Amino acid sequence: MLNSLDLPGRPEETRVVVAMSGGVDSSVVAGLLKRQGYDVVGMTLQLYDHGAAVHRKGSCCAGQDIHDARRVAERLGIPHYVLDYEDRFREAVIDAFAESYISGETPVPCIACNQTVKFHDLLETARDLGASALATGHYVQSRPLSDGRGRALYRPIDPERDQSYFLFATTRAQLDFLRFPLGGLTKPETREIARELGLPIADKADSQDICFVPSGRYSDVIERLKPGAAEPGRIVHVDGRELGRHDGIIHYTIGQRRGLGIAVGEPLFVVRLDADRREVVVGPREALITRRLVLRDVNWIGDGTLADIGPEGIEVYAKVRSSRPPTPALVQVRAGAVSVDLVVGEEGVAPGQACVFYESRDDIARVLGGGWIDRAAGPVETVARSMAGAQPAAT
């Protein structure tokens, strides 16, 4: 028979590993599964030597979180283990983040962490322990496909908590082993369950910061990890004028307006970071609009394969930021290269971010996959050409 997790067998004979971060969401997952009779094992990952971040509210994976996860496990009466993944996390996430930032990209380390550490290394550990599934506190849904060919990933019923953007790289094989019990709940409902279970973290604040950026300043982390990476260079307008100097492109992000260190009498935004030339390129707001993306490392979990899409393309709905709604787009594949045309242009799209595909704009739409933005094409060059000759040369 099938139980509530779509797993064969009786719950009491079925082991499920729960990734316990110390927050309310994963704690409720462990509590719900324990209440349903599963053989629950809690796993918490030690990812980072947190130092000053240990007692800082709003940072995930800190020492306090490990302590909280242990307290919850004791309250539930389940075994709990802390796995030291610091070396793996540094290699797969922190170092990759630094290299990406230095090259002028805007990486999303939480996606990389799910892709490499949590849904690869931890998943294999769960298998080694004889578990039938790895359950997490993510707000997404997965359901068996009607044709029996595995499971599909969907947005949760609570759009305010949708975390599907951060899970686009989850493979079909991983989806078959993963379970997301909170996909059908709202956050207030989750907290109420935590209170019903008597969990000590029922009212704990959600984590907001990247765990290895306790100050919230990415550039501080890059300078510590890669001394000398902040090389000075020019700030140039899209029309070619030099407007000033900067102390390193790591101090700038696409779309930034304030703190540019220049005064020209008109609002300017960072529209491109050229690592090879060490240039920060600025321009008017219209230069921020992107209409075409070229992706790398695309993961397709829709029907068929990526090769089936072909040059004629397939209509999808795409997200280029987790906080924005999916918008109409056309995905095309030519000679293995994947491009995305956005029907409505997006502002401030940067290489290194993710572009995630959905079947529709519905709140509980199916996730079709996604990829990392390799480069973005927009009106920057058009704006530059239109302004060439209209501006006085720099003196």
Q: List, by residue number, the catalytic residues.
A: 113, 211
In angstroms, the CA 87 to CA 94 distance is: 10
Residue 352 and residue 306: Cα distance in Å, rounded?
Answer: 21
Residue 324 backbone dihedrals phi, psi, to 5 degrees: -105, 150
Rounded Cα distance, 123 and 171, in Å: 12
What DSSP letter does each residue of 55-123 carry, written as one string? Answer: G-TTBTT-HHHHHHHHHHHHHHT--EEEEE-HHHHIIIIIHHHHHHHHTT----HHHHHIIIIIIIIIH
DSSP 150: -
Contact status, residue 302 vs residue 366, Cβ threshold 8 Å: yes
**Paired sense of beta strands 178-179 and 133-135, if any:** parallel
Question: Coil, strand, or helix at residue 395?
Answer: coil
Calpha distance 88→194 (Å, rounded)? 32
* Cβ count within 10 A of residue 352: 17
Position 311: which residue type?
P
Instruction: Report, in angstroms and rounded to the nearest whole number, the Rg of the chain calculated over CA atoms.
Output: 23
Would you list the DSSP string of 175-220? HHHEE-TTTTS-HHHHHHHHHHTT-TTTTPPPP-B-TT-TTS-HHH
